[in-house]
Structure 1
Amino acid sequence: MSVTDRTVLLAGATSASGIALTRALVDAGARVVATGRSAERLAPLRAIGARVEVADATSLEAMTELAARLGGVDAVLPLIGGWRGGGGLAGQTDEDFHTLLPAFDAVRATSRAFDTALRASDAGRFAIVSSTAVGRPLAGGATYAAVKAASEAWTRAVAQGFAKAARDAGEPLRAASVVFRAKALDPESLVPQVLALWDVDAAALNDQVITLD
């Protein structure tokens, strides 16, 4: 298996990581669908070779409509992130929480909308980018760590869903759900790990937490 000829959805792809992933995936022969809420910010991704879609990755309705139009998809990576922190526990404001919550909303919306497509693929992959802060949360980053922990829990539930669906159907597991953890996200460390998602059988990959260098 390889990423060549795979259809990969990058949801919320206008960040530096989204651009780096798009370039690497296109160069590897994948079909990239990149979403964002701004046609202007998506233009560089189109120039690289991605199919771009103006769509809100945090909206289940928008992602479900996109899934229906795309049909087969082999991988989904929600890339909405952000950081708010500082001020100790007392400094964790409601504004911080509501600013960071869309990252979790995107994990929920994309995984639900594309669940059927990923299970139908012969090598479906769902992956999120989390943080090492989940393993050692600090008071000044409690909100950030909590949102990332929720995203990880959801992604591991996706993994269990993939395994159960395969078991109930009496079929081999073909879809895998993975968490990437980074201390400070560097696209150069993320890109090779995403490209390698098809180097490992789904049964060995599913429900793994992989720390990026």
Structure 2
Amino acid sequence: MSDRTTTAQEAKKMAGNGALSGAVIAVAGAGGPAGRAALLRLAEAGATVIGSDNDPERLAEAVDAASYAHGGATVVGDTVDLLDREATRDWATRIEKDFGRVDGLVHLVGGWRGSETFVKTSLDDWDFLELLLIRTVQHTSLAFFEGLQRSDRGRYVLISAAGASKPTAGNASYAAAKAAAEAWTLALADAFRKAGGPEGPTSAAAILVVKALVHDAMRAERPHAKFAGFTDVKDLADAVVGVWDKPAAEVNGNRLWLTEKP
């Protein structure tokens, strides 16, 4: 396993238009700001994109925006409860049945809860984050593993946080959940490595690490904020597409840093 920092400029260069022509990529958590940016960028890169979210209204808005921006692209949405393992498995199966293949799962399901101090940590927050940040990763990775392994360019992409490597007192639950999600994804990477045998993996699991994310609405709400070290969701989307630019062996099991390492 290796860690490296990828600049926004590098990611943009890696993610040239049409780089994913013919690919079929699923995006979990597609209704949020990062999901919207990912749908747009993946469609621009030529992929067929299938987004999921548990909120059908915001998912429809995200899908419509990506479809409108890239009229020739196929962008569809499925309302899926990723906390339901069977529903997640059915989603993965349906994608392969409808589109003939699946080349990627981008996991953008997120959420945060924290506390003022360590001793004020609520374990209710852990219960919430364990489901949101860990269980959804478990379900999607298990559901999509075989399909991604059948692809000649399968990728599982997890978005994580720098806090997983350097937890702070008030973020114990969040950092622990992110660290667990990373560990699970690295185990997935090892499964891809073993499945590839002596010739190396043909599919890969990679982790993109950010400090936090920022988007245009946040800047509009806080025009004087610096958002130091934050990654714009558009730059994150560029980095997501860039994961397909390199051979599986070069990204499998790696943390790709989009912010300064703690």
One fold, TM greater than 0.5?
A: yes
Q: Indicate the SS of the match to 1:128.
A: strand
Q: How far apart are 1:2 and its partner, in Å?
A: 3.0
Q: How far apart are 1:10 and its partner, in Å?
A: 0.5
**Identity rate, percent:** 35
Counterparts of 1:112 and 1:69, CA distance in 2: 15
Matches within 5 A, 1:71-86: 71=96, 72-86=101-115
- The residue aligned with 2:119 is 90
- Larger of the two Rg values belongs to structure: 2
State which drifts further: 83-92 or 157-166: 83-92
- The residue aligned with 2:30 is 13
- The residue aligned with 2:83 is 58
Moved over 6 A (4+): none
Q: Indicate the SS of the match to 1:34.
A: strand
Q: Is the 8 A contact 1:57 1:78 kept in 2?
A: no
* Structure 1 residue identity aligned to 2:21: T
TM-score by length of 1: 0.94
Q: Is the 8 A contact 2:160 2:210 kept in 1?
A: yes
- The residue aligned with 1:155 is 185
- The residue aligned with 1:24 is 41
Q: Is the 8 A contact 1:88 1:140 kept in 2?
A: yes
Q: 1:200 aligns with which of 243, 246, 249?
A: 246
Counterparts of 1:8 and 1:99, CA distance in 2: 27
Counterparts of 1:58 and 1:6, CA distance in 2: 26
Q: How far apart are 1:166 and its partner, in Å?
A: 1.3
Q: Indicate the SS of the match to 2:202.
A: coil
- The residue aligned with 2:220 is none
Task: Report Cα offsets for 1:118-145 as digits up to 9, x if no partner.
Answer: 0000000001111110121111101110
Counterparts of 1:45 and 1:135, CA distance in 2: 31
Q: Are positions 1:109 and 2:109 aligned together? A: no
Give the aligned length.
211
Q: Is the 8 A contact 2:19 2:46 kept in 1?
A: no
Task: Report Cα offsets for 1:90-137 as digits up to 9, x if no partner.
Answer: 121122112212121111000000000000000000011111101211
Counterparts of 1:104 and 1:150, CA distance in 2: 7
RMSD after superposition: 1.4
Counterparts of 2:95 and 2:241, CA distance in 1: 21
State which drifts further: 35-44 or 115-124: 35-44
Q: Indicate the SS of the match to 1:89.
A: coil
Q: 1:44 aligns with which of 61, 68, 71?
A: 61
Counterparts of 1:162 and 1:139, CA distance in 2: 35
Counterparts of 2:162 and 2:60, CA distance in 1: 32
Q: Are positions 1:191 and 2:237 aligned together? A: yes
Q: Indicate the SS of the match to 1:156.
A: helix
Q: Indicate the SS of the match to 2:119.
A: helix
Q: Is the 8 A contact 2:115 2:122 kept in 1?
A: no
- The residue aligned with 1:35 is 52
| Contiguous gaps of at least 5 residues in structure 2 | 1-17, 68-74, 214-231
* Structure 2 residue identity aligned to 1:31: T
Q: How far apart are 1:171 and its partner, in Å?
A: 4.9
Q: How far apart are 1:58 and its partner, in Å?
A: 2.5
By relative contact order (CA 8 Å, sep 6+), the higher-ranking structure is 2
| Contiguous gaps of at least 5 residues in structure 1 | none
Q: Indicate the SS of the match to 2:27.
A: strand
Matches within 5 A, 1:134-173: 134-167=164-197, 171-173=199-201
- The residue aligned with 1:67 is 92
Counterparts of 2:90 and 2:114, CA distance in 1: 34
TM-score by length of 2: 0.77
